[in-house]
């Protein structure tokens, strides 16, 4: 591509850079300042104090447990999504007849269901099966709502597997199970890593289902912990922002090490 200078967009991009960076700067710098230091220096100043105390306080006031809960929810959601979506996408791509198309349409329709619109029935269902205030109660609906986008992503990847490979497997008399494990899964690695990241992000950053389906401290996840933390210690800005930092660290690590899968996973979010 021949670079065409675009001054308007270039100028806009610098302004927007400031808008994005300024809050992040305050977030990082405040989380390492003492409460008094932050109070006197103000958010935008160069900090004069330095401490890890905010992080230690956040962890000891419950964030350690919230973190463990969120990890459990995230891992479980990812497992459910991968275990359900991989065979589903295989069936959508390789099954004969109308059935596969019908299932695919159903999941396309599912894309249009906003999770917040069905929180009342989900609250009802989870209560009926006795999973209220239980991590499993968060896990099941979170996984369900990650399915449509994941199915779109993974069936897209699986469609790119060349038909000749399937035919070669069929010539050798391979069963669908063998074809799935020996051919489809190994060749769908990129799609699978995308849906892993997508499902993990949904679970890690999810707020709605924990908000309505849990109440006690022992089942609290990080996002809900932040919300509660704010209502209780809203005036302790450095403490609050250290908690925000803690909640982002795992995602930032993924961003550093698996950027491609993350970007694709985030784009998948568009379906929500």
Partner 1 sequence: MTTLAPRRRSTNRGGPSVGRPGAVWALPATLFFGLFALVPLVMVVVLSFTQWSGIGSPRFVGLENWTDLASDPVMMKSLWLSVLLVVLGVVTQTPLSILLGVWAAGHQKNRAVLSAIYFVPLLLSAAAISVLWRALLDPNFGIPGQLPWLFGDGNLLGNQAGAIAVLTFVGMWQFTPFHTLIYQGAARAIPQVLYQAAQIDGASTVRQFFSITLPQLKNSVITSMILMVVGGLTTFDTVLILTNGGPGTDTTITAFYMYQQAFRSFDFGTGSAIAVVLVVVATAISLLVVRLSGYDKMQSEQEGI
Q: How far is the CB of 221 from partner 1 (least distance, A)?
A: 10
| Of residues 169 and 192, the one with the C-beta less far from partner 1 | 169
Number of DSSP helices (H) and strands (E) in the chain, helices first: 15, 0
Q: How far is the CB of 16 from partner 1 (least distance, A)?
A: 6
Query: Can you tell me whether residue 10 is helix, strand or coil?
Result: helix
C-alpha to C-alpha distances, 36 to 30, 39, 49, 198, 255, nearest whole angstrom: 11, 5, 9, 40, 33
CA distance 168 to 201: 37
- Take residue 161 and report the two structure tokens written for it: 């597997």
CA distance 76 to 78: 5
Q: How far is the CB of 59 from partner 1 (least distance, A)?
A: 16
Q: How far is the CB of 50 from partner 1 (least distance, A)?
A: 18
Q: How far is the CB of 134 from partner 1 (least distance, A)?
A: 15
Cα 272 to the chain's mean position, in Å? 12
CA distance 119 to 224: 16
| Of residues 53 and 183, the one with the C-beta less far from partner 1 | 183
């Amino acid at each position: 591509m021949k670079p065409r200078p675009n001054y308007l967009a270039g100028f806009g991009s610098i302004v927007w850079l400031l808008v994005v960076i300024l809050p992040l700067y305050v977030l990082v710098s405040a989380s390492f300042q003492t409460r008094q230091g932050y109070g006197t220096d103000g958010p935008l100043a160069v900090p004069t104090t330095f401490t890890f105390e905010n992080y230690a306080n956040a962890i000891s006031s419950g964030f350690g447990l919230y973190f463990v809960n969120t990890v459990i929810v995230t891992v479980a959601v990812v497992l459910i999504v991968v275990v359900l979506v991989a065979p589903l996408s295989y069936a959508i791509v390789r099954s004969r007849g109308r059935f596969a198309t019908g299932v695919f349409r159903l999941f396309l329709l599912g894309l249009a269901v906003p999770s917040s619109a069905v929180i009342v029935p989900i609250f009802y269902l989870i209560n009926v099966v006795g999973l209220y205030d239980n991590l499993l109660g968060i896990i099941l609906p979170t996984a369900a709502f990650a399915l449509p986008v994941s199915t779109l992503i993974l069936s897209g990847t699986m469609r790119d597997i060349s038909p000749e490979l399937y035919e070669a497997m069929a010539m050798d008399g391979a069963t669908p199970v063998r074809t799935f494990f020996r051919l489809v899964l190994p060749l769908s690695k990129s799609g699978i890593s995308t849906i892993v990241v997508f499902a993990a992000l949904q679970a890690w950053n999810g707020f709605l289902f924990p908000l309505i389906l849990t109440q006690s401290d022992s089942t609290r996840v990080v996002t809900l912990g932040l919300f509660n933390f704010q209502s209780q210690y809203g005036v302790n800005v450095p403490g609050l922002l250290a908690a925000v930092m803690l909640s982002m660290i795992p995602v930032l690590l993924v961003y550093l090490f698996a950027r491609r899968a993350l970007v694709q996973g985030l784009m998948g979010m568009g379906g929500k």
